[in-house]
Amino acid sequence: MLQINFSFRGAETIEALKEKHFVFQNNKVPVIEKDNRTLIQKSKTISPELKQRLENLDGILYLSRVSGKYGNIHLLTNKATCLDGIERLGYIRGNRDTIQFVEYPRGKNAHYSSFYPLVKELLLANGFKEKSNGFYISANQIDLFVGVINRFIKERDIQNYQPVIDSRIDTMIIDSKKYFFNVLYWDEQKRQQEGELMNISKPGQEFINIKNSIQMLAEICRNAKEEKDLQIIASYINEIRKRLDILESITQREAKQLEEYRALFEE
């Protein structure tokens, strides 16, 4: 079993990391639930419209401060107890009417987010484009972004993950002294076990993806602020329903033809 020492101070030499794994745990800066929505409105880097919609994020939002002013957002899971990379999904930077979602902030904190690779994979699967090691998300994509993140947060609440030590080494200056830390990422245990997903047929896996997409659409509906947003979503659902009706008709016809084809060889 992988032995990891979660600590505020790491190894004093890189060689020491070969004997024991050290992962930075910033227990000097605890995070609590109330850090969430009450402070986001104070952000000076995110537009008022986007702040209102980002309030629908289910995870813990910890706002960074520069010269006493609130700014960008550390996005953490509900299991986070302190401000570090262990339970962080990524970092949200405000840029007028858009946001940039990156792995970690510049500065003294951990230079990685342990869940970022899994979140990145989910964002790419839902049509977001990565550029310059991050995602630039426009105002019309915010609700979809929130839906994707909330879906992952819920999975984190119930899913077990396997710790994976990366080859990179993180460094930190603490009380004028340099310390070395391992970089930790999380991976889904079901992938490590090679079982659950490997035994699902391709149509079965695609059906699971469809159900997940429907769940995400429900999240977007729940987070809608105005009636016009719901009307737009309703028109999308209506269009999807029409296409599903056509698809059902085709599959039924194809199934009947397949039965007739098989009957030819059974006689």
**Dihedral, CA of residue 5, residue 11, residue 16 and residue 18, to nearest 10:** 50
Is the pLDDT assigned to residue 180 strictly greater than 60?
A: yes
**pLDDT tens for residues 107-116?**
778 999 999 9
pLDDT of residue 113: 96
Gap between the Cα atoms of 75 and 72, Å rounded: 10
Q: At what angle do helices 227-266 and 202-223 cross, to 10 degrees?
A: 160
**pLDDT tens for residues 35-94?**
566 778 888 899 988 988 898 888 899 998 888 888 899 999 999 999 999 999 999 999
| Tokens 């159900």 sit on residue | 211
Q: What is the value of pTM for the model shown?
A: 0.71
pLDDT band at 199 (very low <50, low <70, confident <90, very high): very low
| Tokens 């340099």 sit on residue | 178
Gap between the Cα atoms of 176 and 155, Å rounded: 39
Gap between the Cα atoms of 157 and 24, Å rounded: 22
